[in-house]
Amino acid sequence: MDDMIFYDRLQFAFTITFHYIFPQLTMGLSLMIVYFKWKYLRTKLERYNNAAKFFMKIFAINFTMGVVTGIPMEFQFGTNWAKFSELTGGIIGQTLAMEGLFSFFLESSFLALFIFGEKLMGQKLHFLTGFLVFLGSWASGYFILATNSWMQNPVGYEILENGKYVLTNFSALFSNPWLIPAFLHNQFASVVTSSFVVAAIGAFYVLRNKNLEYGKLFLKTGVIFGFVSSMLVAVPTGDWNAKNVAKFQPAAFAAMEGIFETEEAGAEIVLIGQPNMVEKKIDNKIAVPNILSFLTYQDWNKQIPGMDQFTKEELPDNIPALYYSYHIMVGLGTIFIGLMGLALLFLWRRKLYTMNTLLWGIMFAFPFPYIANITGWYVAELGRQPYLVYGLLKTVDGISPTVSSGNTLFTLLGFVGLYMLLGLLFLVLVGKTIHKGPETQTH
């Protein structure tokens, strides 16, 4: 049984981690494409229109890869997690169906119109199709987060005698106090990813002295969007999410912050340290007293329950992974603010385009928002364990008892090989698009 749970979780973790490489770019990039197209309508400068079409090509490649890698996860609900689907399908099936019926078709239909229909529709309708692609991509994130939010903080449900969950209040799914903070945090984090990608492409062009006009445009746009979105990810959305975890999942909050023992006079915030699960402490820690209590409750002396206040069954089953994921996410987010803030300063002083060292830093920084986004999801999912539906349905009770660990491991190895090929194909296609450059977008 332990092997079955391990491989089921490992397979889903691998497939969803690889999948989320793609939608985190498309959701943020769709907003920036709308911005470029809007700027073109305002200024009639062709470079903005070419920029919109250039990044829509990159969007389309990411969107296709996202669809291909997203389909296996849908099947895993039936293969690896059949009991979970059977018990909760009456609730999560509704939001997942809405994501597929409304968001996916809206996004995919108008993506084709944006790419191929500019001459036929005219510029205003072309802008509208771009906006609807943006609306579809963000609506998709909203419905997925509505599903996940119910799993994190179940609301509006009733459990029947046969153990199945049914929805008693449809509006509760979308008024869940977990939803809006999680959605906004996730969406602004996706804008961070797209901003760093746009800025990195701009830095690449400027450093190579190629497509210089577009390089400067991409740099400027990426830096401004990147700084604003990085700040919004931290405050208020990150702070809002952390307070939700403290309120609804106090055991997870203690684990991700590394609070082994409850402090009577307020909780310190651990900046650096390693969780020692044998001695129940943080080794080599650097911490600031009372800050965590103030950030969480605006009270320097407010007590925050430590892990000593919970039973082993209530605590997340992989505390070190949760702790490190959280601190990697927060640490990288802080670096993003600093890097984009520095770049914005030099942009304002009209020196950014000649600061080669900083440009190299921006160009090589683009993978790190992907890491921050993925570790952020790890925090959410590891913090919910050992439950699939927090406080109600344990992970061990949601697996498919008829699918052996050997079958799951075999298909996992297949996914690894297939996704390596897809990853290489993705890099080749995006690399060729960047190499051709935005100037090829002219009629």
Locate the domains of the chain by residue range.
219-403
**Cα(267)–Cα(307) distance, rounded to whole angstroms?**
12
The reported pLDDT for the residue numbered 245 is 97
pLDDT-based confidence at residue 1 (cuts at 50, 70, 90): low
**Cα(287)–Cα(304) distance, rounded to whole angstroms?**
15
Phi, psi at 283, each rounded to 5°: -85, 150
Please give the mean pLDDT across all residues of the chain: 94
Contact assessment for residue 164 and residue 87, using Cβ atoms and an 8 Å cutoff: yes
Contact assessment for residue 237 and residue 183, using Cβ atoms and an 8 Å cutoff: no
Tokens of 11: 């397979």
pLDDT of residue 442 exceeding 60, the answer is no
Long-range contacts of 408-417 (CB under 8 A, 24+ apart): 408/4, 408/7, 408/8, 408/11, 408/80, 409/7, 411/11, 412/7, 412/10, 412/11, 412/14, 415/11, 415/14, 415/15, 415/72, 416/14
For the chain, give the percent of residues with pLDDT over 90: 89
**Cα(51)–Cα(44) distance, rounded to whole angstroms?**
13
pLDDT-based confidence at residue 385 (cuts at 50, 70, 90): very high
Global confidence as pTM: 0.95
* 248-283 residues labelled b (16+ CB within 10 A) or e (exposed): ebbbbbbbbbbbbeebeebbbbbeebebeeeeeebe
The stretch 212-223 carries a mean pLDDT of 97
**Cα(371)–Cα(146) distance, rounded to whole angstroms?**
23
Contact assessment for residue 161 and residue 131, using Cβ atoms and an 8 Å cutoff: no
The stretch 145-162 carries a mean pLDDT of 96
The reported pLDDT for the residue numbered 443 is 39
The stretch 250-276 carries a mean pLDDT of 93
The stretch 66-91 carries a mean pLDDT of 91
pLDDT of residue 320 exceeding 90, the answer is yes
